[in-house]
Each structure stands twice: as C-alpha cells, then as structure tokens.
Structure 1
Amino acid sequence: MSVADRLLEIAHSEERAVLFTVIDGPQPGAHLLVLLDRGGETVGDAPAELAELAPEIRRNGQHEHAGLRVFAEVYGPPPRLVVVGAVDTAEALCAAAKLIGWHTICVDARSRFATRERIPSADELIVEWPDEALARIQPDHGTAIVVLTHDEKFDVPALQAALTTDAFYVGAIGSRKTQSRRRERLLEAGLSEEQLDRIHGPSGLDLGADTPAETALSILTEALAVRAGRPGTALETAPGRIHVET
C-alpha cells in the first residue's frame, strides 16, 4: 500500500502516525510514514532510520536525523489532558485546554466531587482511584497529566502511576514543602531520582496566578511550552524564531 493510501486510511481513524518528508539530503522529497499504533510499521522510500525519531515527535516541524533534514507531520488524536482531582482549578483547566483543542479527562475517586455540575468542561469524567484510572487511560507521548489534589493517599499513587507512563508532562500543584514530602514518599515507593525529576512541581509558570482560572492558565502554558520544547520565557527576550519552526 502506498503512503497516500495509508494516509487516507488513518485520516478516518485516530491511529497515531508520523509522516517524514526529506527536505535536504539524499532523495529529497522522499517520504516515510511511521505507524506508531502498529509497532512502528513503515511505508515509503525515505531512509528507515527516521522511524527511530517518530515516538518523540509531538507536533509538526523540521528536524535533523541520520544526516537528513526532514519535515515531520503528526497524525492522530488531539493531545489529552488528564486532571487528577475534581477541585475548583480542574474545571478552569479543562475549559482552557478545550479552547486549544485538547481532549480533557478529569479523575477523582470521590463521587461527590466528580460531577458534571462541578466539572462540565471535562470530555470524560472518571470516578475511580487515580492510579487505576491511569492504568486504563494509558497515557502516551500526547498526554499531559496534572495532579491537583492535596492528599497523599491520592497524590502519591497518582504520581507513581503517571511517572511510569510516556506522558510528555507530569505536573503537581502544592508548596515546595509539599513537593519535598511527596518526593520522599515516592522514593520510598521505589521510584528513581530520574523519574522524580520529570515532575513539574509546583506546576505552572510564574505568572503571579491567584484565582483558579489564573492557576489553570499558568499550568496549561507550562504544558504547552514543554510540548513545544520551549522555555516558556517572554517572547521579547527569546532568541531566534518567535514561532515554532514549521
């Protein structure tokens, strides 16, 4: 089957794939389509080494790999945001994420909090222990996870589960003292320092956020920056291109 035929096939599904087009190097214009949900199966005539890069690609843009400059196009479902804890900030965070086209999931084991009245913007509302829910959700490279609870019986299992996934962003709110205490508990649970270094905590950029809506904006902008591989600094002081190269 040709690359074009495969693209038509996946256009009608949520199958994840990355299409590489060679810009500079041997065979300019050659394509390689990597089907991530089919064990990395490839279609096309561009060098097969490009498939190694595919799992790390989160958005369209130029890349250099194996001596080639290529343009990568991402196909599949929209990014997912998993919010642990149906607290006030959860609704604001889900609402903000939906504005940029993300699929939102809110998880809380407490049925009195995880209601449509409290979190109407969640695409999915799951009443379940966070670690069990994450095992079913199976976060991938297109998933961000934010822990909003302030209770170790929820926080620690949720983060322990989140840090064993491929989620591109794992954030947790709370003071530095809270972050330190959580870190101790997670080390005791068997996680490594390297795994714990993935946590963005306190979650969010330093925007002076105070209200739930402001806090949600702070968290979401940090997740966006991480996804784009950007530092999240002011544009006027940023070197190089303002927009992500496409």
Structure 2
Amino acid sequence: MTELLGLVFSPWTEKARWALDVRGVPYTFRHYQPLVGEPALRVKLRRLTGRVSVPVLTADDGRVLADSADIARWADGRGAGPTLFPAEHEAEIARLIDLSERALAAGRARALSRMLADDEALAEMAPRPIRRAHVALAARLGGLGVRRTLRKYGGHEDGAEAHLRTMLAALDELRATLARSSPPGDGPRTLLGRFTFADIAMSQVLVNVAPPAALKLGAASRRSFSDPDLRDRYADLIAWRDELYRAFRTS
C-alpha cells in the first residue's frame, strides 16, 4: 500500500494528508523520527548529501515523491472527490502555493524562535520516554533539535521583523484573494470559487497564527505556534480556515 512518511504537527505533512484524504486515496501514515530516521530517509530518496525532509510518499507503484504539492498532484490523478488542480486555475494555484511556502517558512522561524524560550515546549519535542524519565534532559534535547531545524532551513538570520513582514503580506493577500472570489452557493468561501489545493496550501499559513484544534500539539507547543496579536488581527481568516476544515477535512 502507499505509505506517507511525515510529522503529525507539520503543516507540510498536513497539506499532503489533506490532499490524499479529500481524494479518498488509501495510504498508511508513518511518523518520521528526526535524526534517528534520517539515514533511512536518505536511502529512500537516494540523496546522501544535502537537505532531506518530509513528507515523503512512497506510492504503490514504487514512485517516491518528496514535496507536498507533488504528492497532492499525484493524489489528484487517483481516487475521487474535488479536483485539486483544475487546468483553468493552474497559474493561480502555483502562485498561491509559492506564497504559502514563503509564509510557512517565515512562520516556522518565528514559532521555533519562541519555542527556544519555553523549556516546557522544548521538552514536548523530545520522545515521550525521555520526557517521562528526565524533563530537563528532554528540554535540552528539544533545544538541540529546534536549533538544528533553524540551521537546516535557514532564513532565521533574516530577523524577526523580516519574517513578520512576510507573514503579514501573505495573510493580507489571502484576505484579498478571498474577497475577490465568487460567493459560494453553500459552504465556505474558497479562493478560486471552488475547493482546490490552493485552499489547502493557504489555510496552513494560519498554523503559525492559531493552530487548528485538530492539530496534534502539546499545550506548550501550541503556545509557541500561536501568535495572539496576529490571531486577533486575522480572526476572520482563522474562522475561514476552521469552516474549511469542517466542510472538507472530514478524514
């Protein structure tokens, strides 16, 4: 069976899972363990050097896909359900995917920087047996992992203000695109007048503003991924995201 390797709290993994689920494509989900799982991941991707990350899908035909949008396109050719990449909207979907990626990278840098100041959140990043045995050690290990992630993906050196500007620009564009879209006959408003992968991609930007209730995060980690100022400023977008989940994220 098709296997998806990912992180349950990652918005990139959620983009891939949502696409697979909404198309009704059967798959097995396997949780990726950073550091410990990296050697096997490199073998799977045939990439012995350079950066590797999840989600990674191993299809039942042997194909290996290592990008959430590529996984969604693969899912769009299988199963049933809403067409995620309608041909008439290809250019706009590509634009919104790119916007989502830039905003998610900025949001990750901001959230992980907040996490570095929260030992309880850092401890939640460590494996549960270590947390149970030694909370202080778990926090130190979590800190090592968070710093490694910041170095791995870069961008943190751009500074908090640059990341905030990226987030604000993406959220303002999301609001403007929604305002331009056709009102729905029923259900939530969508970015292109119908549910597509653009909605999935852009809804994930809000993970770093107010994580959805369905996201599996510890209380302290949820605190690190939340931004009270942006949450109040973009309450309308959070409400849109939550309505989108209720309408299209049933699996």
**TM-score normalised by structure 2 residue count:** 0.29
Task: Look at both structures and tell me which one has the larger radius of gyration over its CA atoms.
Answer: 1
Larger helix share, 1 or 2: 2
**Per chain length, whose mean CA-contact separation is higher, i.e. which structure has more relative contact order (CA < 8 Å, sep 6+)?**
2
**TM-score normalised by structure 1 residue count:** 0.29
Larger strand share, 1 or 2: 1
